[in-house]
Amino acid sequence: MTWSLPSPLPRHVAELIAARFAAFADPLRLQILDELRREGELSVGELVERLAATQQNVSKHLSVLLQRGVVSRRKQGTRALYRIADPYVLEMCELVCGSLQREIDALVRLVAGESPDVAGSSTASSRRLVGRPAPRANGEQPPAGGGRR
């Protein structure tokens, strides 16, 4: 994947990117996106039923996703149907989930006493998962408290 972003990244561009990522910063919004990914298009009522959430809560989170351009809405009679508007959202979610899966696999191997280095994961990522600080890029070990310099 190639980015055509300016370097260094201007503040206003960083703010736009942060706003997009903020749309994914809630577990219910991620569950909504997962339902829309699986079903294609759903109403608020259908999402409420599938997610066992309140209509008010689902509507609030759909509003955030709509404002950020992550989902789109169309009217069908008296119902509003929502769908994922940006196909790159699904690719981003797959990348994040794949990365997490590699870290989990590495942690499982570490706990089992095997080498945690599996398919692109590293000992450093496993250490992050278990709360131990990873070595610095220069090879030094960080202070025992995990502090930063």
CATH number at residue 20: 1.10.10.10
Whether residue 94 sits in one domain with residue 54? no
Q: Long-range contacts of range 61-69, CB-CB < 8 Å, 24 or more positions apart?
A: 61/26, 61/28, 61/29, 61/32, 62/32, 64/23, 64/26, 64/29, 65/23, 65/29, 65/32, 65/33, 68/19, 68/20, 68/22, 68/23, 69/20
pLDDT tens column, 103-144:
999 899 889 888 766 544 444 444 444 444 444 444 454 444
Whether residue 94 sits in one domain with residue 66? no
Whether residue 59 sits in one domain with residue 80? yes
Last residue of a domain, one of 85, 103, 120: 85
- Per the structure, the complete domain to which residue 37 belongs is given by 11-85
User: For residues 109 and 2, which has the higher predicted lDDT (pLDDT)?
Assistant: 109
DSSP notation for 23-36: TT-SHHHHHHHHHH
Q: Is residue 141 part of a domain?
A: no
Q: Please, what's the b/e burial string for 24-63 (b: 16 or more CB within 10 A of its CB; e: otherwise)?
A: beeeebebbbebbeeeeebbbebbbebbebeeeebeebbe
Whether residue 94 sits in one domain with residue 81? no
Q: What is the pTM of this model?
A: 0.67
Q: What is the rounded average pLDDT for all residues in the chain?
A: 81
Whether residue 100 sits in one domain with residue 113? yes
Whether residue 71 sits in one domain with residue 98? no
Whether residue 74 sits in one domain with residue 105? no
Q: Is the pLDDT of residue 56 over 80?
A: yes
Number of domains in the chain: 2
Whether residue 58 sits in one domain with residue 118? no
Whether residue 81 sits in one domain with residue 15? yes
Whether residue 124 sits in one domain with residue 79? no
Whether residue 98 sits in one domain with residue 63? no
Q: What sign does the dihedral 65-67-70-75 (CA atoms) show?
A: positive
Whether residue 70 sits in one domain with residue 21? yes
